Amino acid sequence: MRPIEPGDYSTLATFLNDLDVGLLVGGQPPVPMPMASVAALYEHRRESPDEVNFAITANDVDNALIGQCGLFRHDNVGRTCELGIAIGVHEYWGRGYGRETVSLLADYAFRVRNIRKLCLSVNATNERARRAYAAVGFEEEGVRKQHVWNNGEYIDMVLMARFA
């Protein structure tokens, strides 16, 4: 993991405009994002005191940018925040990068940021992500039934959390 730099924006735009990635992430239906909007989004995130974002790089010769992750929606009283991650390069799916990244991000949140509890929501249909989260200590807290419109149907969102 490393900081997101302006030079990463074009690659991040590719990820954000990939329908398969957008359908895995969930939430709002994916929409095309022009480069200017992507740059504005990440500039806003970089300046926001409520967000900490990282680029995810592969452990190969050129340390290729393969995704992004971050912490957001900090609750300073409860010492909680949400975690998000997306691996944008399909060839890196299922190779352990998500699991390793979530583990590193959780360690950073607990040890460096003094977070007590990390929360996340994941599409119930995204079995690979749910297994990765569980493998690094996240437990299911609840399910929001038929909560988001995704790929032609309403699907559940699974709420997961991990304590320090």
CA angle 103, 74, 56 (to 5 degrees): 35
- The per-residue pLDDT for 26 is 67
**b/e code 120-157 from CB counts within 10 Å (16+ = b):** bbbbbbbeebbebbeebebeeeeeeeebbebeeeebbb
- The per-residue pLDDT for 140 is 96
* HSE-CB of 34 using CA atoms within 13 angstroms: 1
Beta bridge partner(s), residue 75:
80
Beta bridge partner(s), residue 150:
153
The tens digit of pLDDT for each residue in 40-88 reads 989 998 888 889 999 999 987 678 999 999 999 999 999 999 999 999 9
Contact 21, 150 (CB under 8 A): no
| Domain parsing of the chain, residue ranges | 6-115
Tell me the Ramachandran region of residue 27: left when phi exceeds 0, alpha when psi lies from -120 to 50, beta otherwise: left
Q: What is the pTM of this model?
A: 0.87
Mean pLDDT across 81-101: 91
CATH of 6-115, one of 3.30.2010.10, 3.90.320.10, 3.40.50.620, 3.40.630.30: 3.40.630.30
N-term to C-term CA, the chain: 20
